[in-house]
Copies of this chain bind each other. A is one copy, B any other.
Amino acid sequence: MGLKTPSRDSRPREAVPAAASNTGAAQAPMREFSRSLPMALLRAREAVMRHFRPSLRADGVTEQQWRILRALSSIDIIEVTDLARVAYLLGPSLSRILRDLEARRLIERKTVKSDLRRGTISITAKGLKLIEAVAPHSEAIYAEMTKRYGAQKLSDLQDMLNLLESSLLAMPVHGGNNDADDSGDDK
């Protein structure tokens, strides 16, 4: 992720130069687009991450790697599948990242003896040291953001986002294999 408003220039200059005045059929502008919900969420998230990326990058970790390490730092040991849920990453991404983090000795993995398919992950001392090095700065940034936006607003926003998520998770996906929730009465 991360878009820093491509080619940011100082002076304001009209966002879309030769807009409007179509040549042929004047189709409906279609929900302004730039103000659609997905776009608003994307822009907001980028505005947030923009502040974290530099320090993370300085310490040699990506945003996703950081999510994993941070999750591990407060859990001690966890299975891969559960880690995927906690760090909100898809399996394939997680597999690649774990491979890399293991090579860098930031994490360790073991196979569950009772089920050889499963693997457990834990953070190493080196990994913890990295966390401890980055966390303070990260927390400071978070605090500054909270101060600027307002603690109450921030809290409200989070509630609204959570509600949005749960509302939409309850909404059936049209053309998708909704293996989601179907009040389990398995088989």
Number of copies: 2
Q: Can you list, as one digit per residue, whether each of A80-97 has a CB less than 8 Å from chain B (1) or not (0)? A: 011011101111001000
Chain B residues with CB under 8 A of A175: 54-55, 58
Task: For chain A, give the interface size range.
Answer: 35 or more
Give A contacts to B, CB under 8 Å.
2-8, 10-11, 15-23, 27, 29-31, 33-55, 58, 63, 67, 70-71, 73-79, 81-82, 84-86, 88-91, 94, 128, 135, 137, 139, 141-142, 144-145, 148-149, 153-154, 156-158, 160-165, 167-171, 173-176, 179-184, 186
Chain B residues with CB under 8 A of A170: 148
Q: Return the contact of A6 from the options B73, B90, B174 (Cβ within 8 A).
A: B90
Q: Least Cβ distance of A67 to chain B in Å?
A: 8
